[in-house]
Amino acid sequence: MVLYLIGLGLGDESDITVRGLNAVQKCDLIFLEAYTSVLRVDKTKLEEFYGRPVQVADRNCVESEAELILQPAKNGLNVALLVVGDPVCATTHTDLMIRARAEGISVELIHNASIMGAVGACGLQLYNFGQTVSIPFFEDNWRPTSFYSKIKYNKDGGMHTLCLLDIKVKEPDYDAMIRGKTVYLPPRFMDVNTAAKQLLEAEEVHGESVCTKDCLAVGLARLGHKDQCIIAGTLEELVSQDFGKPLHSLIICGDTHDLEMEMLKQYMISNSRYKIQHLTEHESV
């Protein structure tokens, strides 16, 4: 009957909206999408709060095996796909909506808070952000830097860049597969420190003064939680800061106006080179 794509927000099981909770409780099947992002609480917490069983949907389920979600809805059941953050922040969910509607399935979106809006907690204004980029884990023989040109485009226009950091969940162990075993590697979540190092490496490759060691950046962790962490400083300084547990994000700052800087000062590393070189000069004007 209906495929509901329901945003869960950024916190825990209680961050679902009233409208979202009402939809969940009338669904016959409930899937938790665990590919594009993850909650900090186990699915059993969701089941206790919603009073309904929840199935975890990995990457295969929401992409190559999406019929596991679509077919029950096509057969007359109400199906919910729970998404951390907001459902329209990932192309995976847009593709699923297109496929569902092509098969005659009604789709209902229920929005919630996402990282795309929550980054405003650091004080940078959302309308001053340009294209969002994703930073993948560098591997020995795979070190892509296609994100660099987008950050440059944003910076040339004075805009900030939100960098979404890679997560690896249910990644196959290829060495084990060669031996005929199906084994998955432990989950990996990129932290601000790793992202900052990779951005500095990308600067060495391209050399266009986009991600220099002295550029202003903001590291963010666990936004939407009571223990969220926001630290501002130079990109090089963020390499050595402790942001704690995942999930992390990073902002490369463009031009900042007075109100933005007034907020960022609250999160600035006390002895930051950026603070010494720029804020003192800024305040003396």
Domain CATH number, residue 160: 3.30.950.10
Do 231 and 244 contact (CB within 8 A), yes or no? Answer: no
3-state helix, strand, coil in the chain (%, to 5): 40, 20, 40
The predicted structure's pLDDT at residue 284: 47
Q: Which residues contact 108 (CB under 8 A, 6 or more apart)?
A: 2, 3, 4, 5, 23
User: Is the same domain home to 95 and 139?
Assistant: no
Amino acid 280: pLDDT: 57
Number of domains in the chain: 2
From 113, 140, 158, the end of a domain falls on: 113
**Nearest partner of 6 among 14, 247, 21, 73, judged by Cα:** 21
Boundary of a domain, candidates 113, 141, 165: 113
The position carrying tokens 């004080």 is 123
CA 150, CA 152: separation in Å to the nearest integer? 5
Give the Cα separation of 63 and 127 in Å (integer).
32
Q: Which pairing describes strands 188-189 and 216-221: parallel, antiparallel, or unpaired? A: unpaired
- What pLDDT does residue 283 have? 53
122 shares a domain with 108 = no
Query: Which segment of 8-12, 112-116, 129-133 scores lowest on mean pLDDT?
Result: 8-12
CB 183 within 8 A of CB 173: yes
With bands split at pLDDT 50, 70 and 90, how would you rate the model's confidence at 279? low
Decide if pLDDT at 82 tops 80.
Answer: yes
Residue 58 binned pLDDT confidence (cut-offs 50, 70, 90):
confident
Residues 10 and 30 placed together within one structural domain of the fold: yes
Question: Which residues lie across from 180 on neighbouring strands?
Answer: none
Strand partners, 232: 218, 268
Give the residue from 57, 81, 113 where a domain finishes: 113
Cβ–Cβ contacts within 10 Å for residue 220, how many? 26
Shared-domain flag, residues 168 and 194:
yes
Q: Which structural domain range is residue 147 located in?
A: 116-284
Instruction: Please indicate whether residue 257 or residue 283 has the higher confidence score (pLDDT).
Output: 257
What 3-state DSSP class applies to 186?
A: coil
Q: How far apart are CA 25 and CA 80, in angstroms?
A: 10
Average the pLDDT over 96-111 and give the result.
94
pLDDT beyond 70 at 116: yes
